Amino acid sequence: MNAPLTAKDFATDQEVRWCPGCGDYAILKCVQKTLADVGAVPDNTVFVSGIGCSSRFPYYMNTYGFHTIHGRAPAFATGLKLANPELDVWLVTGDGDGLSIGGNHLLHVLRRNLNLQIMLFNNEIYGLTKGQYSPTSRAGTRSPSTPAGSIDAPLNPCSFALGANARFIARGIDTDARNLSPVLKAAREFKGAAFVEIFQNCIVYNKDIFEDFVAKKTAKETQIHVEHGKPLLFADGTNGLKLNPQTLALEVVVVGDGGVPEAEVLVHDETNRSIAQMLINLPTEGYPMPLGVIYRDPSDPAFDDAFWAAQTTKGKRTAKVADALRKASVWKKA
């Protein structure tokens, strides 16, 4: 038997061309290591991307890869998975590619529940076209196309995914491989469309836009790593999220001495859509950023499986065209 592959085996000979310090480097490393850890087979793995900085990703993965056109990667991935459902397909997209020009395709790949992993690198800006505001940019974002500040309300990617009936929704941070890697593993194991929003730092056009919750020093207080079946605690268990039955909203509470007993803290149930809805839409001010697997509902079949199951002959050629041509009234001329 060959020696197990390492992260290095998943790297190509191509020179990586992201800006020095770009969050994409960390994600690339994390993905390469994760694939090595789970024993992925490079020949059976495909990275499909659209257009944008994130979409250069396939060139750097020593697997099969397809760098397609702007926004349409989900549609290419759909055709590919229908052609060969056995493939392990990863889709790499960004906030512009996936939610602006490609919003329609992202909506439908999630709704259909195609069996693949979608990594949406959210940096709240258009990087490759030099810094215009994106559909996730906060209102007031000053950019070359919005010198007086953007005026439209941003989209929350995970909220979009939930609305599109995604069955797996997770979040991670580019430089936090320790927490991102398990999320990617879970996404890969999930039978269906697994949507992972990765907060990615564009150091040139939107530097440190997520610093308020990414900063390592304050991470304990500003992040909450959710886990199925465990209470929603953060800040070393001193704080938690409690459901207020009057407002049907989550509240930050102090747990233990001087606060509420831990039993009053909401226990995360990743199959509960309402909890997912509340976590995804937590206000940013005064609340921690929920990370990890927020929602997972494995009860629906994956589209590629259902597609072939619905075909009468399961995709196999069982009849001959010569016979099919004669399935009509046929007459002979002597």
Partner 1 sequence: MAKITPDNKSVVVRFAGDSGDGVQLLGSQFAESTALAGSDFATFPDFPAEIRAPVGTTFGVSAFQINLGARRISTAGDQPDVLVALNPAALKVNLPALPKGALIILNTDAFNARNFSKANIETDPRETGELKDYQVVEIAISTQTLEAVKPVGLSKSDAEQCKNFWALGAVLWMFGRDRGPIKDWATKKFAKKAPEILAGNLAALDAGHAFAETAELSAEIPQFEIGPAPMEAGEYRSITGAEALSLGLAAAGELADREVIFCGYPITPASSILHHLSRMGDLGVATFQAEDEIAACCAAIGASYGGKIGVTSSSGPGIALKTEAIGLATAVELPLVIINSQRGGPSTGLPTKTEQSDLYQAVYGRNADTPLPVIAAAGPGDCFDAAIEATRIALRHMTPVFLLTDGYIANAAGPWELPDMDDFEPILHGTPPTPKGDPTELKRAIWNRDPSSLGRPWIAPGMEGLAHRIGGLEKDIATGDISYDADNHQAMSELRANKVEAVAEFIPDQIVEQGPTKGPLAVVGWGSTHGAIHRAVFVAREQGYDVAQIHLRYLNPLPKNLKRLLAGYDKIILPEMNMGQCATLLRDKLGLDVISLTKVSGQPFKISELEDTIKEHAPATLKKAAE
The least CB distance from residue 80 to partner 1, in Å, is 4
> Would you tell me how many other CB atoms lie within 10 Å of the CB of residue 151?
10
Tokens representing residue 146 in the block? 């919005």
C-beta closer to partner 1: residue 65 or 288: 65
14 binding partner 1? (CB under 8 A):
yes
User: Residue 135 and residue 194: Cα distance in Å, rounded?
Assistant: 21
Which CB contacts under 8 angstroms, 24+ apart, belong to 208-216?
209/123, 209/124, 209/125, 210/173, 212/284, 213/284, 213/288, 213/289, 214/173, 214/175, 214/176
328 binding partner 1? (CB under 8 A):
yes
CB contact at 8 A, 252 and 287: yes
Cα–Cα distance list, 131 to 139, 152, 200, 257, 283 (Å): 15, 16, 14, 48, 26
Q: Which of 223, 177, 176, 194 is CA-nearest to residue 120?
A: 194
The least CB distance from residue 166 to partner 1, in Å, is 15
By CB under 8 A, the count of residues binding partner 1 is: 62
25 binding partner 1? (CB under 8 A):
no
The least CB distance from residue 70 to partner 1, in Å, is 8
The least CB distance from residue 291 to partner 1, in Å, is 30
The least CB distance from residue 123 to partner 1, in Å, is 21
How many Å separate Cα 1 from the centre of its chain? 34
Select the residue interacting with partner 1 from 18, 24, 52, 65 (CB under 8 A): 65
Piece of the chain touching partner 1 by CB under 8 A; list 115-123, 204-212, 291-299, 326-334: 326-334
User: Residue 182 and residue 248: Cα distance in Å, rounded?
Assistant: 30
The helix (run of H) or strand (run of E) holding residue 126 is none
| Residue for token pair 């196309």 | 145
Piece of the chain touching partner 1 by CB under 8 A; list 38-46, 116-124, 219-227, 289-297: 38-46
Site string for partner 1, 69-108 (x = CB under 8 A): x--x-xxxxxxxxxxx-xx----------------xx-xx
The least CB distance from residue 277 to partner 1, in Å, is 24
306 binding partner 1? (CB under 8 A):
no
Select the residue interacting with partner 1 from 64, 181, 252, 260 (CB under 8 A): 64
Summarize as ranges the residues that interact with partner 1 (CB under 8 A): 12-14, 42-46, 48, 51, 58-59, 61-69, 72, 74-84, 86-87, 104-105, 107-108, 307-308, 311-313, 315-322, 324-326, 328-334
